[in-house]
Amino acid sequence: MKKIVVLLSGRGSNMAAIAAALREERWPASIACVIADRPQAQGLARAAQAGLATAVVERSAFARRDDFERALAETIDAHRPDAVVLAGFMRVLGAAFVERYHGRLLNIHPSLLPAFPGLDTHRRALQGGVAVHGATVHYVGAEVDAGPIIAQAAVPVMPEDDEDALAARVLASEHRLYPMALRWHLDGRLRLQGTRVTLADPRPGEARWLWNDAR
Ligand code: NHR
Ligand code: GAR
């Protein structure tokens, strides 16, 4: 059985999508723990309700980022995870933390990277007038939102979209994309060569991209 640790700061819908895929597709894997950096994170209650183990490593309990990240790493390492999954985790992580989990730390970012790294991606996509937007799952590197790309989901931007409508369309694509990418990682099917990732032995219809038609 492979083990997954999920880190989140908010609502936890990506965590829930991964938990549902594990259950419904009977992966040889389990979520060992869901860890939040704030006790109020909705995703914690959601995880507990689903019967998952939870932990809080509160950022505000530490004066220095290094001390916070050391405590976070101790909590993670107790579970010996094969994958550490950032799912709406809102704290930038330092080089030592990123190095410790090299090749098993995944993030989902709500844009088609390298477009729109950082925060407020949907607002910036609308402002930028793009016709296609989406989400990216990538291995985390020391530089924020710039690690090797595992898979991407594209969605159209519709003329009537506001930030909420666009965010909802992207989020629905995230819920398909993240389980797909994580499964490939856990199955040992991803090859990391420098800045590029390849998928070993793709099956018919399997590709590193998804396209969501607007509905
Ligand atoms: N850490 C590293 N080293 N590399 C990445 O690629 C990371 C990372 C930590 C988090 C998620 C990321 C995203 O997908 C992520 C990727 C938060 C911020 C941020 O600026 C930026 C990127 C991401 C997450 N956070 C503020 C900070 O000062 C806090 C903002 C807040 O609390 O609202 O840490 O978008
Ligand atoms: C998702 O859209 C995710 O891509 C984004 O936050 C949302 C979390 O939703 N992540 C970031 O912006 C990271 N900075 P969720 O808590 O419901 O999964």
- Let me know if domain 1-101 sits in CATH 3.40.50.720: no
User: Does 147 contact ligand 2 (Cβ within 6 A)?
Assistant: no
Distance, CA of 175 to CA of 134 (rounded, Å): 12
Distance, CA of 65 to CA of 79 (rounded, Å): 22
Q: Count other C-beta atoms under 10 Å from residue 47's C-beta.
A: 25
pLDDT over 70 (residue 195): yes
Burial pattern 149-171, b for ≥16 Cβ within 10 A else e, equals bbbbbebbbeeebeeeebbebbb
> Across residues 116-121, what is the average pLDDT?
98
Mutate to test the pocket of ligand 2, among 9, 171, 173 (most ligand atoms within 8 A of CB): 171
pLDDT tens string 156-179:
999 999 999 999 999 999 999 999
pLDDT over 90 (residue 115): yes
Distance, CA of 190 to CA of 183 (rounded, Å): 10
pTM equals 0.97
CATH architecture under which domain 108-215 falls: 3-Layer(aba) Sandwich (3.40)
Per DSSP, what are the bridge partners of residue 83?
4
Distance (angstroms) between ligand 2 centre and the Cα of 108 equals 7
Domain(s) labelled CATH 3.40.50.170 in the chain stretch across 1-101, 108-215
Determine the pLDDT at residue 3. Answer: 98
pLDDT band (50, 70, 90) for residue 212: confident
pLDDT tens string 130-148:
999 999 999 999 899 999 9
